[in-house]
Chain A
Amino acid sequence: MRIYVCVKHVPDTAANIKIVSNTGYDKEVKYVPNPYDEYGVEEAVSLVEKKGQGEIIAVCVGNESSVNSLKSVMAMGVHRSILVKTEEQLLDSARTSKALAKAIAQDRADKPDEADKPDEPADLIFMGKQSVDSEGMQTPYRLGAELGLPVVTGVVDFSMEGALARVQREIGGGARETSTIKMPCIIGATKGLNEPRFPKLPAILKAKKKEIKVIDISTLEIADDSQYRLKNLEPVEERSNATILEGSTQEIVDSLVKILREEEKVI
């Protein structure tokens, strides 16, 4: 079987983000593979380990430094990677999904896997539920629309039963929904699906030799027809220091209740 995993190269969530010139940010921060995508990678790697066969290909749309995230996921067990190279990093999700779709289609035409038919979609595509930079929560649906594949995202449990995938999602208030999806399909992973492995040194060294094919996004001829545009980015003002309530525990809770009731009027 062949599995594609979509991996975005994103600033570490703990990094300080400095906004520059309205719609950009200072890129000199630590970058990591998008944390949700790692759940997808782990699921793909453990599936292939269990089956004893299969190829996993990571696909990323991003700038040159994205190779670092691709190397990280190859150290986790991904076999090879494709980078669709762009200049900027905050991309429109419509464009991103078209680029992912074209890169995947091209790869299947170039490197048909003997076990499957190149004119049919890949068996499985794992993605993350959301990017931690742009928080779009939609690329899986868009890729699904491009490739004509069913999509379920926010997946916390995954298994395969013949030509069906069985998945679970959390739907609020602690309830879990179980559904079946006809494969091939797209799965958007989230926390709870598995525990992504920490690669050991030999795996990291081996990953350095794995293939990363770089395609320039301009060669994919993606029409830029979207009018949805990022106009402005502004930092969120952190609250300033808290007012510390002082006194005995009794005095403190009494004054807190009074403040919440009478001044803030939130209870």
Chain B
Amino acid sequence: MSKIGVFIETADQAIKKSVAGVISAALQGGEVVGFVLDGFAESYRESLGEYGVTELVNLTAANIDFSKQPEAAGRALAQGANAFGISSLLGVSSPIGNDLLARAAMELKSTLTLDCLEVNFQENYVKKSHFSGKAIATFEMGTGTHVIGIRPNSFDAVRNPVDCQVIDHDMDLPSEDAIEIISVDKAGTGQKELTEASVIITGGRPMGSKENFKLLDECAKTLDAAVGASRAAVDSGYAPHSMQVGQTGKIVSPKLYIGCGLSGSVQHFAGMKTSEVIVAINTDKDAPIFTKSDYGIIGDLFEVVPALTKALKE
């Protein structure tokens, strides 16, 4: 049976929510081996066993803090994949996941598919978006090792309890790297991460100010949703770039996407059209967004959103 590796992305000693879906995707290809880079494999053993990880490898190297040395981290993942006979290495297509998977792929001289929407190990193909979400491309992967980053929320996480065993794997890696991460500024955080959310409520240009975004925050609270913004809203200074959804912002796939005062631009849709249900709120009955959404409300967002918040609280 093939072994599929999964990079277990963590932050502050917690597993990223989207990792579970990646494990479910990996299980379709064989037995799943998880790779942990922060040294805390033991504390993740139980929850990963719930999703079907049979072996959990604690990758370590003396004198190296992988969170500060992305090149060493990529090398470690590649060495781990080789040592455990991995045929494909998967991870979450997040900023950190993409970076480390790409570095590992260069070490492994493998194929690389990032932001992958579908993977089929039996028929050996992957699918991903092309032309800003306007087309889906299918790639035949060929022989050899494959490294694949999965778009968050594109695979449902399915429970599949197994016994999970932790294996320590210490490596000898060069300690000097060309890249060194010197700090991480979390000042802009406190927002709920867009790519991980199952509900997103987004504001466009008519939001008009930073303060008005509180209206969306209120509504988001009732749904445990994340708040997004269009580029027009970001460029006008109403929201930080980290909240931007779209081709030049975050690519998201929530179950529910509520767009408030969005015209429905191609570039915005490039980042959210794979959402399960899209609801549009717009004053203009002819706004293009109404031709690409599931449900439409013709109305002023400043009226509709507070009413919706109230209805959700009830």
Contacts and interface: CB of A to CB of B under 8 A. Distances in A.
Given A170-B241, A175-B184, A175-B189, A227 B106 contact: no
Contact of B180 (A179, A242, A249): A179
B286 to A, nearest CB: 12
Of all A-B residue pairs in the complex, the 3 with the closest CB atoms, nearest first, are A227-B142, A174-B188, A242-B296
A253 B295 CA distance: 11
Contact of B184 (A171, A242, A257, A266): A171
Interface stretch (A52-60, A77-85, A139-147, A213-221): A139-147
Given A177-B183, A191-B248, 20 more contacts: A13-B131, A13-B132, A134-B130, A137-B102, A138-B105, A150-B179, A174-B242, A179-B182, A191-B249, A228-B139, A230-B139, A238-B291, A239-B294, A241-B290, A249-B304, A252-B304, A260-B277, A264-B256, A264-B276, A267-B255
Chain B interface main SS type: mixed
A244 interface: yes
Contacts of B292: 238-239, 242
A267 B178 contact: no
Given A132-B132, A236-B134, A253 B308 contact: yes
Interface range for A: 35 or more
A138 B144 contact: no
Interface string B210-243: 0000000000000100000000000000001111
Contacts of A27: none
B182 A178 contact: yes
B312 to A, nearest CB: 6
Interface of A: 11, 13-14, 16-17, 19, 25, 35-36, 93, 132-138, 141-142, 144-145, 150, 152-154, 156, 169-182, 185, 190-192, 226-236, 238-245, 249-250, 252-254, 256-257, 259-260, 264, 266-267
Contacts of A11: 131
Contacts, number: 238
Interface size class of B (residues with CB under 8 A): 35 or more
A35 B300 CA distance: 33
A131 B248 CA distance: 11
